[in-house]
Every structure is written in structure tokens, then in C-alpha cells.
Chains A and B, each alone.
Chain A
């Protein structure tokens, strides 16, 4: 251990940033830490863009009637909000964590393919530009929902093609990133870092990367078929030429369901680092966590049609997908029980990362329960395509993935920047986010039960009160995230210096073997592990 630190001290000049300064440093960088930073800032920018869209959507839904946007633009907003938040904000955020953390956690000097890593990131701004440009095309951005169901996609203007190419670029970026992550984890571990000694965050990313490799090409296929249906006379999704609109849904959801776990598994990984650190106690059931994560990943491939109960799949199909889906509750339950057992008889403290982890645990489980409700075919027939579904997946995506991302940021920010964030402000950010999040999404369960369909710009009068509460929550949520930006900027510019290990119970290599802030190049020679 000391050998590594001495090495870094002795070669301080290694801390330069390649051959360039200024903007060229970021464009040409092959350093995993720089690229992780780029991913995280890009993701925050997209979070802002998608968030503004959400606020406009909620402003329109504040009252019945059409106020601010017309129905067509409303559909464009819901479509782009979904695509940007999933592909632009949440996924890049966790790839950012992977870039920063995986090499440091396994004792590697960098990612396996450093130049490829640079390209994986720099595909993203181009994809985002294509998405943004689609708004300027004749007919605007596609108003088809992020699921892009055929044959509505065939009716759209040129913005649809821009979106399709954007999805291709995003997919390419994810596939390249996944290859890099798998290669890094399998080949660059320090001697002694056996697979079953890896921190759980690394494990969840290994499994996620395999999921990405398996499903991103499927999505690329689905949107390419849409493209040829639109322009080249194919009829994959058109019954008049022997195709089937439902085929699109099968292909999309074969991607779409594992995609949920692409977002959720790295979140599980972050939580599995944070909870033991603040419980000052090792993670309970490490091996069963690994097995449960794998089980969830494998099951995620055989449950896709639970998004399609109302399309008219046969009764045997409905039963199969219902049983397979509720089975996922078992490994997910194991994970929740393990986290709770980790806290049991620990020595708990409640800094901001832990607060977000507890918020995650509580509300992600709530999202899991509504998932169980939706898995039941007869109940889903009532709730499919209503606000209940909107509430459910936002509990998974926002209370789940976003909370885990916040937990991770607060957890590792001192290590990355060498400075402490403002603990009081962090706690205020947590409580504001928690309250507003539930204000937005909890009431949407009632809206869905009472029969409000999703993706409508206007609604019958009986839904007004809950919609008002939900909209007010959304405005508050938006403002609360400005506080987050302030906290991060304040930490970087004027935070108090952080010690090497600010969290007493943290035990992975970046805390135990590397100084704070971490040097630009770390583990140039592998650490010695016992």
C-alpha cells in the first residue's frame, strides 16, 4: 500500500493532463477519471433539460383544458423527456460512476481501452444534438412516447429519423462502454482481487454490462426496422404487407425490460457500498447478493411481455409472463433483506449519502410492490397505460436510480474532488427531494386507479386535485435540484479539504489505498492485497 503512495509522490509530474490544456484536454482525454467527470456533467445537463420538459408537462397538467402547449407538442415533450432522462441522464450517470470507480476499486491503472472510452463518451453529445435538432424539423420531434410504438412512428415527420439515429448513437456508446467495462473487470484486477472479493458495485456493473451487450443491439434492430418501414417500403410492422404492429412491441420490450435493470443494478451497486460504510459493518450476505443480482438479470430476459398484457397475447402467454415476473420479487426481496440485515446491529450514522440510501431502500421497495401489483394480469388490465404505471416506474427510476446516483455523488465527491461538500445543505437537499418526489408521484397512484390514462395533455374534471398536487411537487422538485448544483459547485470551489477516508466504515481500495484527492494516475503498479 505505502509503495503505491510513495510512487505517486515520487512521480508527481505524472499528474499532468496529457499534452493539452483547456477544452482540448477534455476532447482528447483518455483518462478514466476525466471521462467519468465528463459523463457525470453531461448527465447532469441532460437531467436539467429533461427536468425542464417535465416541468412544462406538469404545468400543462396543472389544470384541465389546454393552457400552455398544444396536444402535439405535449406528446413531443413526453417522448423526449423519457428518452433524455433514460439514455441521457440516468445511464450516463452510472457509466460515469463506473469510469471513476471500477479501476480504483479493482486496483487497475485505467480502463482497458482508453481511446475507445473517449469515443464512447463523445458519441453522446452528438446523439443529444440530434435529439435536440429533431424539435426544429418540420413536424417537430416525434410525439410517439419513448417506447416509439409502430405504426404511429410511420406518421411522424423527419424528427423521427433524427431520433432513430440518436438512438443508434446512444446504443453504440453503450455497447462500447459495456465492452470496455467487461474487459477491465475481467482482465485488469490487481493480483489477489478475486472475483468474489470485488466490491459489489463492480459486480453489479459487470452484470449490467452483459445486459447492455445483449439488449442494445435489439433496440437498434427495432428502430432500424422502423426506419425502413418509414422510408424503404418494408412492412415489418404493417399488416397490409404481412407484418405485425405487435412484433415491434415484442422486440422493443425484449430490450426494454432488461433496460430497467441496466438502470437499477448499478444503483443496487452504489447502495451496497454506501449502506455498509455508514453501518460500519460488512455487507450482509455478499455471496447471495451476487447470486441475486445474476438471477434478476437472467429473469429480466423472460418477462418482457408483462408490458403487453392488453395486446391480446393468449391466456397461456399471460400466465407464463405473470409467473416469471412475480418470481423476480424473490431475488429482489433477498437484496432488500440483506441491506436491512447489514444495518442490523451496526453502528449507524446518517450523513447525506446514507440518507439517500435509506430513501432509496424505502421508496424503491414501494416501487417494487407496485410492480408486483402490475405483474398480476387482471389488475394490470385495469392499470395498463394509466398514471399508476407512471407512478410505478418513477418510483423505480427516480426514487430508485436517481436517489442511488445522489447517494453515490455525495459518497465519492470528497474522494474525487479532495473536498467535503456542505453536510447541512446536503441534508436539506435530501429532505426537499424526498418530500417533493412523493408529492409528485405518490398521488399519481390514485390518479391511475381512478382511471386517468397516461400521455394525455388534458383530463376529465375528477382528476384535477391530484394533478394540482403533483404539479406543485414537480415545481418544488425542479427548484430543489438547483440546490444540488450549488452544493456540488460550492464543494469543488471552496469545500474544506477531505481526509483520505472521510467515511469511517468505507473499506474498498480507493479509500484504503489512495490519497485524497486521488492522483490523476492511480495504481500504475498494482496494489498488494492480502
Chain B
């Protein structure tokens, strides 16, 4: 309607109006879709209270900012030399100086009081319904359900975004870099205590929607907590620089109803029993290679590369044509125990005998390498 009435009065208006309309439409749909202005929507009371505190402080700051700089710009406008303003000579005023020391101090008390209440609440990790230990590992998260329903479940959560998307060889998906193979699953409205630690360097476990962030420090235990108040999937990223793939170890938490959670726990436990491989079973080379390729893609590819050429920058040697890899009995000890002071970690703690046997067989028989297979029983025998 407004465009057609404009057309009547201004003959050239349609094209201009259309262009402007298209431009504005694109701009604002882009704004609405793509722009984030504030903290992520809260899914816990703590996160909501953090938002409130942030807004309260921002309003105070904005008011002071406008006040002080309104004063300054008034000065700039009214007392400029080009207008002929003569400088006065005063250079101190005790009362004013006392006031502008005391008043900010009072405002700070107004800020500190609500912040203090929240700090105390944030630190209270007692009386949890479910306790989960999360271990930061270069570059994935391991979750162990320690106490509460689901006790005994363990899962390792690795980025599932394909490398083709990262390297621009495939279009990027909706949850690019924020998706994992195994999500942490927790029940809604239950207090979840997260105990953090790390296997190698400092990581930081963070889910913005819960207002929970806690560094994961190798050799030490720390804890934080959250109580999700709605079901859904919540995503975050590692928040402490932990080496090359720091940007590629997301945290994904699926919050489900109590009923669904119980169901998930049941399925998970059954699946674990079913998947448990019998380490005494003899596997064929082809079976091991097929399984090994998957293990390699999830654990080794970031440093040793899909081509097996390694990354000298992170001291990851080439596996292709590597005599140490193809020699007998294969690098079982290296994979089990890792190499100190490198990103080559002790995979014995993360992978089963079958997985280790499979991945070693895979690297011994890929990229032109040729050697015998390694059986799970051999790996089991070398575990200390």
C-alpha cells in the first residue's frame, strides 16, 4: 500500500522504493537471523540471574557514561576557544573531589551486594541429584556418571562435524562445530554436579545457557553445577586454549524428561553390554582395518592427518612409511601409554583393547604400509 501511493506522487519512486525495500529487507532479515546481541537465552535460574545482574550493571554504567560524557561534550561545545570562551583559572575544589570519590564508592556497594549473593549460590555444589565427572582431553571430553541414576555410564564426546565442512569442501551444517558423536544426557530440573579434571593441559567446560563454566585442570578436581529448567539441546565450547584443536572440542548437553532419562540409561547400559567386545575373539585383518579406520578418524586424524603424513608442528610423526609402526609388535605401548609432553596421550584409558588393536592394524596397513594385524589379546597382554 505505501509503495503504490508513493508511486502516484513520484513517478520514479517504485524502483527506488523496491531497491530500498529489498535492501532493508535483506539487511534486517540478516540482522534477525545472524546477529547475536546479548547473552544466550538462559536455561537455568542461575543463568537467568546472571543475565539480570549483567543488565542491572549495564544500566548503571550507561547512566554514568551518559552523565559524565554529556558533561564533557557540553564542555566541548560551550567552552571552545573558537567561540571565544575565556579559560578560568580554578584547579581544585575539595568538596567536589570528596563527593566524586564517595559517590562511586556507594554505587559500587550497590553492585557488589547482588553479585555477592550470586557468587555464593554459584559455588554451592552440595546436594546434587546426579554427579558426572568430565575430563578434558586433547581434544574431546570424557564423561563418567559417578553418582545418581546412570552411575557407571561412561562416554567420550568428540566433534562430529566432518573435516570436509571445516576445510570448505562441503557446505556447513546448522550446528557447525557445535555437534558431537555422544552427547551428555541429563534429566531436567535435577541438580547436576560436574566434577572437572583434565588428562593433559588445562581445558574449560562451559555451557552458556546454564551459566556454568569451570576450568578442567590436569591432576586436580574442581566442580560446578547446573539445574536445567527446560528440555532441549544446549551447546558450548572449550573456553581455555588447549592447543591446536582448541576450537574443535564442543560441549553438547541433551536435557530430557526424567522418564526419557531413565529410558536412556536403560538403553545405554544394554548397549554397553552388547558392545563389549570379547578380547579373546580372533578378528580378521579386514575387520580390524574397517573398525580401525573409524577409531583413527575420531582420535588420531587431527595430528597424524588423514593422509598419515603427521604434523611436525605438534611433534606428530608421519605414520606412512614409518618403520617403527610396521616393526613387530607394532606401536602398542605408545598407543596405550602415550608420549610424555606431547599431545600423544595414553589412549589405554579411553579405548578398548579391540579399538586399539583395530587402529594399530589400520595404520600398519594403510598409505602403503604393510604389516601383520594386531589382535585385541595382544593389547590386553601389554596393559599394565
Residue-wise, chain B 90-121 has the 8 Å CB interface mask toward A (1 for contact) of 11110011001100110010011001101110
Whether the pair B82, A382 counts as a contact (CB closer than 8 A) is no
If A336-B68, A453-B237 touch, does A65 touch B166 (CB 8 Å cutoff)? yes
Whether the pair A152, B241 counts as a contact (CB closer than 8 A) is yes
List B contacts of A377 (CB < 8 A): 115, 118-119, 122
Whether the pair A378, B65 counts as a contact (CB closer than 8 A) is no
Whether the pair B92, A285 counts as a contact (CB closer than 8 A) is yes
Partner of B166, one of A66, A72, A240, A287: A66
Whether the pair B111, A71 counts as a contact (CB closer than 8 A) is no
Whether the pair B75, A344 counts as a contact (CB closer than 8 A) is yes
Whether the pair B68, A337 counts as a contact (CB closer than 8 A) is yes
List B contacts of A460 (CB < 8 A): 175-178, 237
Q: How large is the interface on B (under 10, 10 to 19, 20 to 34, 35 or more residues)?
A: 35 or more
- State the CA gap A362–B165 with chains docked (Å): 42
Q: Is A422 an interface residue (CB 8 A)?
A: no
Partner of B222, one of A311, A344, A372: A311
Among B17-25, B51-59, B184-192, B357-365, the stretch in contact with A = B51-59
- Smallest CB gap from A450: residue in B: B36
Q: Is B88 an interface residue (CB 8 A)?
A: yes
List B contacts of A381 (CB < 8 A): 50, 122, 211-213
Whether the pair A66, B168 counts as a contact (CB closer than 8 A) is yes
Q: Is B342 an interface residue (CB 8 A)?
A: yes
Residue-wise, chain B 185-211 has the 8 Å CB interface mask toward A (1 for contact) of 000000000000000111010101001
Q: Is A470 an interface residue (CB 8 A)?
A: no
- State the CA gap A336–B40 with chains docked (Å): 33
List A contacts of B112 (CB < 8 A): 322-323, 326
Q: Is A67 an interface residue (CB 8 A)?
A: yes
List B contacts of A346 (CB < 8 A): 75, 79, 85, 87-88
If A330-B101, A378-B211, A458-B177 touch, does A72 touch B244 (CB 8 Å cutoff)? yes
Partner of B105, one of A282, A330, A341: A330
If A246-B217, A348-B76, A455-B241 touch, does A67 touch B116 (CB 8 Å cutoff)? no
If A71-B244, A348-B80, A348-B81 touch, does A365 touch B239 (CB 8 Å cutoff)? no
Q: Is B248 an interface residue (CB 8 A)?
A: yes
Interface of B: prevailing SS: mixed
Partner of B111, one of A282, A287, A372: A372
Q: Is A494 an interface residue (CB 8 A)?
A: no
Whether the pair B97, A334 counts as a contact (CB closer than 8 A) is yes
Find residues 338-366 in chain B having any chain A CB closer than 8 Å to their own CB: 341-343
Find residues 317-344 in chain B having any chain A CB closer than 8 Å to their own CB: 341-343
Q: Is B180 an interface residue (CB 8 A)?
A: no
Find residues 221-250 in chain B having any chain A CB closer than 8 Å to their own CB: 222-223, 236-248
Partner of A344, one of B47, B57, B58, B79: B79
If A333-B104, A456-B246 touch, does A244 touch B220 (CB 8 Å cutoff)? yes
Whole-angstrom distance from the CB of A521 to the nearest CB of chain B? 34
- State the CA gap A361–B123 with chains docked (Å): 37
Find residues 444-484 in chain A having any chain B CB closer than 8 Å to their own CB: 446-447, 449-451, 453-466
Interface, chain B (partner A; CB < 8 A)? 30-31, 34-40, 46-47, 49-50, 53-54, 57-58, 61, 64-65, 68-69, 71-72, 75-76, 79-82, 85-93, 96-97, 100-101, 104-105, 108, 111-112, 115-116, 118-120, 122-123, 165-168, 172, 174-178, 200-202, 204, 206, 208, 211-215, 217-220, 222-223, 236-248, 311-315, 341-343
In the assembled complex, 7 residue pairs joining A and B whose CB atoms fall closer than 8 Å, in A order, are: A64-B177, A245-B219, A312-B214, A326-B112, A341-B96, A349-B80, A377-B122
Interface, chain A (partner B; CB < 8 A)? 64-67, 70-73, 75, 138-140, 143-145, 149, 151-152, 154-155, 157, 230, 238-240, 244-246, 279-288, 310-312, 314-315, 318-319, 322-323, 326-327, 329-330, 333-334, 336-337, 340-350, 358, 361-362, 365-366, 369, 372-373, 376-379, 381-382, 384-386, 446-447, 449-451, 453-466, 505
- Beyond A287-B92, A318-B123, A373-B61, 12 additional pairs, beta carbon < 8 A: A72-B244, A139-B312, A155-B200, A279-B79, A284-B90, A358-B72, A376-B57, A382-B47, A384-B204, A451-B40, A455-B247, A460-B177
Pairs A-B, 3 closest by C-beta atoms: A239-B219, A450-B36, A456-B247
